Structure 1
Amino acid sequence: MKRNRINNNDGGMVFGFIILAVGVLILLRKLDVFYPDWLLSWPMILIAIGVITLVKHEFKSFFGVIMLGLGVFFLLEQEFNFDFGMERFIFPIALILVGIYLITKKRKEQQVMNDIQDKLISKSTSSPSTAEDYNKGEKAASSTQSAGGKSYAGMSGVSGISYSDSVSIDSIMSGINKRMLTKDFQGGKLTAAFGGIDLDLTQSDLSGIVTLQVDVIFGGIKLIVPPHWDIRVEVTNIAAGVEDKRVYRQSEVDSDKILVIRGTVFFGGLEIKSY
């Protein structure tokens, strides 16, 4: 039986240690053991979100840097009386940084689309069908490639139809809808931070055990799966909702089609549906 492997550096262990630390601090407070109050202040929530996101993305997440930076800023200002004189500039600066990030991300996605179109044009006279060519192009684009000294990530943030065998979507302050048409789904990872993701897998197929990593922070993810798949949800949810709204039919579940959903849902929601 085939097993899918993904990056295990998903931040789940870090999240567990943070929850453990919070529990220990609350217990110590109940026992009248002294410790600094700032350890349970609201800026520490931003710091925790930033750390989890950075660990999950191998310290290459712009969102994680922003959350960590804001948390440290407010912690130093409110708890340690640091006066940066930047209170009135924080909000516009944050908007500017987010805007730059979104523009840069969109340009990278457009470059990937242009690369794929160029490949389709160059192969237009070959025998494979358009769908197969697109599949090959998207698979090539989904891994980091070097072109002209620039490295482009896959089409993770593009809504629409995908022929790729794996999925990698980061939705930050945005909404993304994607339908997978692969007949050999290999799993992947979904991240929704202050945004939403709708992933339609009804036209897809898989074999064996496949893992899908989901991480939700103040957002939502909706998965639409075939009714005969064996769905196993193993997520950690904190102040969040995980709803299984699948339609159960008379047909038996195929024991050779197992989708394991793992990850963390923090102040958000995960919804699983079928038709």
Structure 2
Amino acid sequence: MKRNVRPNNDGGIIFGFIILAVGVLILLKKLDVFYPDWLLSWPMILIAIGVITLVKHEFKSFFGVVMLSLGAYFLLEREFGLDFGIQRFIFPIALIGLGIYLITQKRKEQQVMNDIQDQIRSKSKVGASSGSSYASSSSSEDNESVGATYNQSGQNKSYSGMSGVSGTSFSDSVSIDSIMSGINKRMLTKNFQGGKLTAAFGGIDLDLTQTDFTGMVTLQVDVIFGGIKLVVPPHWDVRVEVTNIAAGVEDKRVYRQTEVDSDKVMVIKGTVFFGGLEIKSY
């Protein structure tokens, strides 16, 4: 039985080192040991959030880049007196960047949909041609060959990018960044491979009740001043391994007398910072 490999980049370790460093700095301050005050300034919080998010998402997180950039900017301006003269432009620039990001995600999703439709049409044409040219026995063999080729091509191409908007998705993995917005997503794949969810000043509702998989998958969640609600089948073995800071993590799954399927393990990892994570089942 094939099992999905869990990623090794555990942001919780980075978060633990950050907490350790903060504790050491506070202790040094109590002992009157000198160190730069900017190490405990509020821009460093933004920088820490950005670093943790980037590490967890293999340095491919738009939100992590934004938080790291804002933290670095405010740190240089406030603590080192470097005036870049762009403070009044930060808000419109942030809106422009957010708009470009959303447009890019939408175009990526549309391209994926077009590729899937092209493959479906191609498969239908080949199947019809095979049925008219051969006898029933040879036609059956050809259709099986075509189906195998199609499945192989589908496995070779990843459609993880098509999940940035509300609606229904047939993608095998999920990748949602909800920034100052709300997203409702329903997954219908039967080969779920996990993914990542980021909610910053926004919310995500993810319905996995029609989803299936075999083995173990990892779902990365990062919540900062927002909320994520997951609806999962009650027979899944869901293991929550998130780090929560001034946040709430609630498991509201319905108790069932049937046994939990040990061959369907979903591990939820990540950080919930001033937000909430809710897990439900029906």
Instruction: Show the counterpart of 1:4.
Output: 4
Instruction: Show the counterpart of 1:234.
Output: 241
Asked whether the equivalents of residues 138 and 163 of structure 1 are also in contact (C-alpha less than 8 Å), the reply is: no
Aligned-pair distance for 1:121? 2.8
Alignment of 1:203-242 (within 5 A): 203-242=210-249
Between structures 1 and 2, the one with greater helix share: 2
Asked whether the equivalents of residues 206 and 257 of structure 1 are also in contact (C-alpha less than 8 Å), the reply is: yes
Asked whether the equivalents of residues 119 and 137 of structure 1 are also in contact (C-alpha less than 8 Å), the reply is: no
Aligned residues: 263
In structure 1, list runs of 5 or more residues that go unmatched.
129-133, 144-152
Name the larger-Rg structure: 2
Asked whether the equivalents of residues 161 and 178 of structure 1 are also in contact (C-alpha less than 8 Å), the reply is: yes
Q: Write the distance in 1 (CA, Å) between the matches of 2:171 and 2:213.
A: 13
* TM, length-normalised to structure 1: 0.83
1:272 to 256, 275, 279: 279
Residue by residue over 1:227-258, the C-alpha shift from the partner in whole angstroms, topping out at 9 and shown as x without a partner, is 12222111111121111111113333233332
Asked whether the equivalents of residues 4 and 187 of structure 1 are also in contact (C-alpha less than 8 Å), the reply is: no
Asked whether the equivalents of residues 141 and 155 of structure 1 are also in contact (C-alpha less than 8 Å), the reply is: no
Q: Write the distance in 1 (CA, Å) between the matches of 2:102 and 2:113.
A: 16
The letter for the 2-side match of 1:182 is: T
Asked whether the equivalents of residues 142 and 156 of structure 1 are also in contact (C-alpha less than 8 Å), the reply is: no
Instruction: Show the counterpart of 1:87.
Output: 87
Percent identical: 82
4+ residue stretches of structure 1 with deviation over 6 A?
A: 134-138
Alignment of 1:128-167 (within 5 A): 142=158, 154-167=161-174
Aligned-pair distance for 1:58? 2.9
Residue by residue over 1:15-59, the C-alpha shift from the partner in whole angstroms, topping out at 9 and shown as x without a partner, is 221122112222222333322221111111111122122223333
Change (3 A) 1:267 1:142: farther
2:195 to 188, 191, 203: 188
Asked whether the equivalents of residues 161 and 174 of structure 2 are also in contact (C-alpha less than 8 Å), the reply is: no
Q: Write the distance in 2 (CA, Å) between the matches of 1:38 and 1:138.
A: 51
Instruction: Show the counterpart of 2:183.
Output: 176
Instruction: Show the counterpart of 1:30.
Output: 30
The root-mean-square deviation of aligned C-alpha atoms, in Å, is 2.8
The reply on whether 1:70 has 2:86 as its aligned counterpart is no
Aligned-pair distance for 1:140? 5.7
Q: Write the distance in 2 (CA, Å) between the matches of 1:43 and 1:174.
A: 24
In structure 2, list runs of 5 or more residues that go unmatched.
128-142, 144-149
